[in-house]
C-alpha cells in the first residue's frame, strides 16, 4: 500500500540525502573516486535488491550512481522503498 505524504515525510528523515521526486519516488546520487568503485557499489546494491525482491532504477555516469526507488505495483512509495534505501545507506558508508 502506498504511503501518505505525512508518512513519506517522516520516513525521509531516516534516509539522509534521499529526495522525493515528482514521479512518486525517492532518489539519491552517490559519487565515487572512479568508475570501478561505482560498479562495485552497483553490484552491492544489486545483491541487496535481489535479497529484498525490490529493484531500484540505477543510472551510472562514470563515477556517479543515481538510484531511484518506487513501488510501481503500489503506484508510489511504500515501506519497501525506505527499507531498501536504509540498507543501501549502510553499504554506501563502508
Helix (H) or strand (E) holding 8: helix 5-12
Q: Which residues of 29-60 are buried (b: 16+ CB within 10 A; e: fewer)?
A: ebebeeeeebeebbebbeebbeeeebebeeee
pLDDT for 52: 93
Global pTM? 0.92
Mean pLDDT, contiguous 10-residue spans, the chain (94 residues): 93 95 93 97 96 95 97 91 95 67
The CATH architecture that domain 5-92 belongs to is: 2-Layer Sandwich (3.30)
Every domain of the chain and the residues it spans: 5-92
Helix (H) or strand (E) holding 66: strand 64-69
Amino acid at each position: 500500500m502506498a504511503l501518505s505524504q505525512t508518512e513519506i515525510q517522516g520516513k525521509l528523515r531516516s534516509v539522509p540525502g534521499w529526495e522525493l521526486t515528482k514521479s512518486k519516488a525517492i532518489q539519491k546520487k552517490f559519487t565515487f573516486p572512479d568508475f570501478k568503485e561505482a560498479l562495485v557499489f552497483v553490484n552491492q546494491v544489486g545483491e541487496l535488491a535481489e535479497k529484498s525482491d525490490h529493484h531500484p532504477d540505477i543510472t551510472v555516469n562514470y563515477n556517479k550512481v543515481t538510484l531511484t526507488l518506487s513501488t510501481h505495483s503500489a503506484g508510489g512509495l511504500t515501506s519497501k522503498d525506505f527499507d531498501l534505501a536504509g540498507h543501501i545507506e549502510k553499504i554506501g558508508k563502508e
